[in-house]
């Protein structure tokens, strides 16, 4: 009985996240669903929005698709919630599931309906701060009332779950403070990286494939909003680094506000030929770009005391790359000798940190890569994070079963 869920249990996973899109939630849930499918095989079923692109990481016969909400579009969002409820009813009608796993979405009315009708134990994964401030951010004062309702809906879901996880200790503190739920209901589980996708590959070979041979070495960034999360600093420090590394390149993978201004700034500094902006690239291409880097960068301009775990940082480490990052959820980098923690405003310090890692010789770089990739497999892998979740879910599920028996 102690390992029932892991060996015999059947799980229904429900999410409003499009796992075919390469944004933060999409990548997070893509990696999680892939790990869940590997661990449970035919004993898991996925209820997802109809994807914008093809899904290659999940068995088609184990997926049911609801109407997409298209980024919470006011016409499609109600249709999404209605179809999610209808699809869930069909899937749950035969009583074959033992546990429901949900990723809580904005204004989660459909999840409330599904879970109240199902009367099954459920857990929530990767709570996001976005859940609790999106209405205020989009609508200003007009968002005050829907935000209060939304917060109540999220709080009720978390209170009713066997357990909910967030991706950093700071995030756990945030939800404990804001939602006022028992601390036992919340647990920290880091964002995991799919080490079957992100692992060291020959740098020069990858650069040839991507057309980056003219650069040697490369500092790089992957992710959304690059101008706010490290790309600006990369451009600004290039003049200080180029005398020592004349062929240095800065490769910026991703799109978002401020990129046009960043291109202009590179031209003003006379370093435009050393910077490549790739724009958005499909997620399947991201491991190759990360492997083309010598140093990965993730420096947030905003100071967030409730910082989430940055998935890109874990991807850099898994590919064996040293990282220059801002503090918060990345402090392990300095503690484990996997990178440097810097102040986003200290360009001199950022340049020095980049120089430290760029100056490694080939032997040092190879040894570092092996150690970093090994650390990621042992401590940061999505499969490892799923194992932690399963142990916790099993414990809480058995408690629930015992309580049901007494009642």
Instruction: Say yes or no to pLDDT of 154 above 60.
Output: yes
Which residues pair with residue 15 across a beta bridge? 103
Q: How confident is the model at residue 293, as a pLDDT?
A: 99
% of the chain with per-residue pLDDT over 90: 85
pLDDT-derived band at 129 (thresholds 50, 70, 90) equals confident
pLDDT value at residue 33? 98
- What pLDDT, on the 0 to 100 scale, is given for residue 137? 65
Q: Max alpha carbon distance in the chain (Å)?
A: 74
> Measured between alpha carbons, how far is 386 from 31 in angstroms, rounded to an integer?
10
Q: Against a cut of 0.85, is the pTM above it?
A: yes
Spatial contact of 386 and 39, defined as CB atoms under 8 Å apart: yes
pLDDT digits (tens, 9 = 90+) for 353-398: 999 999 999 999 999 999 999 999 999 999 999 999 999 999 999 9
Angle between helices 231-241 and 259-268 (to 10 degrees): 10
> 189: burial class by Cβ within 10 Å (0-12, 13-18, 19+)?
buried
Helix, strand, coil percentages (3-state) for the chain, rounded to 5, are 50, 15, 35
Alpha carbon distance 100, 114 (integer Å) = 10
What are 8's two structure tokens?
């015999």
- Positive or negative, the CA dihedral 256, 258, 261, 266 is negative
Average of per-residue pLDDT values in the chain: 94
- Give the pLDDT score at 110: 98
Question: Who has greater pLDDT, 221 or 145?
Answer: 221
Q: Are 382 and 32 in contact (CB under 8 A)?
A: yes
H/E segment holding residue 396: helix 382-406
- Domains annotated for the chain, with CATH where assigned, are 4-192+381-406 (3.40.50.2000), 203-380 (3.40.50.2000)
Q: Alpha-carbon distance 126 to 185, whole Å?
A: 13
Cα distance between residue 311 and residue 257, in whole Å: 20
In 3D, which of 190, 175, 168 has the Cα closest to residue 389?
190
Question: In 161-251, which residue ranges form alpha helices assigned H by DSSP?
Answer: 169-179, 203-210, 231-241
| Residue 2 pLDDT class (50, 70, 90 cuts) | low
Measure Cα distances from 371 to 112, 335, 379 in Å. Answer: 45, 14, 12
Residue 342 C-beta-side C-alpha neighbours within 13 Å? 27
What are the structure tokens assigned to 160, written together?
A: 């009713």
- Which tokens hold the place of 325? 């990052």
Output b/e per residue, 322-345; b: 16+ Cβ within 10 A. bbbbbbbbbebbeeeebbbbbebe
- Looking at residue 337, its pLDDT comes to 98
Taking the C-alpha atoms of residue 342 and residue 299, their distance in angstroms, rounded to an integer, is 8
Query: How many CB atoms sit inside 10 A of residue 260's CB?
Result: 10
- pLDDT at residue 403 greater than cutoff 80: yes
DSSP string, 35-96: HHHHHHGGGEEEEEEPPSS---SS-GGGEEEEPP-TTT-TTHHHHHHHHHHHHHHHHHTT--
Mean pLDDT within 260-271: 97
Give just the sign of the alpha carbon dihedral 299, 302, 303, 304.
negative
């Amino acid at each position: 009985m102690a390992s029932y869920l892991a060996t015999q249990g059947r799980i229904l996973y429900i999410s409003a996240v499009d796992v075919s899109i390469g944004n933060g939630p999409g990548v997070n849930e893509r990696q999680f669903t892939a790990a869940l499918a590997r661990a449970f095989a035919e004993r898991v079923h996925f209820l997802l929005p109809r994807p914008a692109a093809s899904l290659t990481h999940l068995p088609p016969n184990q997926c049911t698709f609801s109407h997409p909400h298209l980024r919470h579009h006011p016409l499609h969002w109600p249709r999404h919630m209605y179809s999610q409820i209808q699809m869930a009813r069909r899937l749950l009608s035969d009583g074959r599931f033992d546990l429901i796993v949900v990723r809580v979405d904005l204004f989660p009315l459909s999840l409330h309906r599904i879970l109240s009708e199902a009367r099954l134990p459920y857990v929530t994964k990767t709570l996001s701060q976005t859940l609790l401030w999106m209405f205020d951010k989009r609508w200003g004062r007009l968002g005050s009332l829907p935000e209060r309702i939304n917060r109540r809906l999220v709080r009720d879901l978390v209170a009713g779950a066997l357990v909910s996880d967030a991706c950093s200790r700071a995030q756990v503190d945030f939800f404990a403070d804001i939602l006022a739920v028992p601390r036992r209901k919340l647990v920290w589980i880091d964002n995991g990286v799919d080490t079957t996708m992100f692992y060291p590959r020959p740098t020069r070979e990858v650069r040839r494939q991507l057309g980056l041979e003219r650069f040697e070495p490369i500092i790089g960034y992957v992710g959304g909003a690059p101008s706010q999360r490290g790309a600006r600093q990369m451009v600004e420090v290039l003049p200080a680094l180029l005398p020592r590394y004349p062929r240095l390149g800065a490769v910026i993978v991703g799109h978002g506000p401020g990129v046009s201004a960043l291109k202009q700034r590179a031209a003003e500094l006379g370093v435009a030929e050393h910077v490549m902006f790739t724009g958005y690239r499909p997620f399947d291409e991201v491991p190759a770009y990360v492997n083309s880097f010598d140093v990965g960068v993730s420096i947030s301009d905003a100071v967030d005391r409730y910082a989430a775990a940055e998935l890109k940082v874990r991807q850099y480490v898994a590919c064996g790359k040293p990282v220059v990052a801002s503090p918060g959820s990345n402090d392990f980098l300095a503690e484990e000798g996997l990178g440097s923690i810097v102040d986003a405003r200290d360009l001199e310090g950022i340049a020095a940190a980049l120089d430290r890692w760029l100056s490694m010789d080939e032997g040092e770089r190879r040894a570092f890569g092996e150690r970093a990739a090994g650390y990621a497999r042992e401590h940061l892998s999505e499969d490892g994070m799923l194992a932690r979740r399963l142990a916790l879910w099993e414990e809480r599920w058995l408690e629930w079963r015992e309580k049901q028996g007494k009642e």
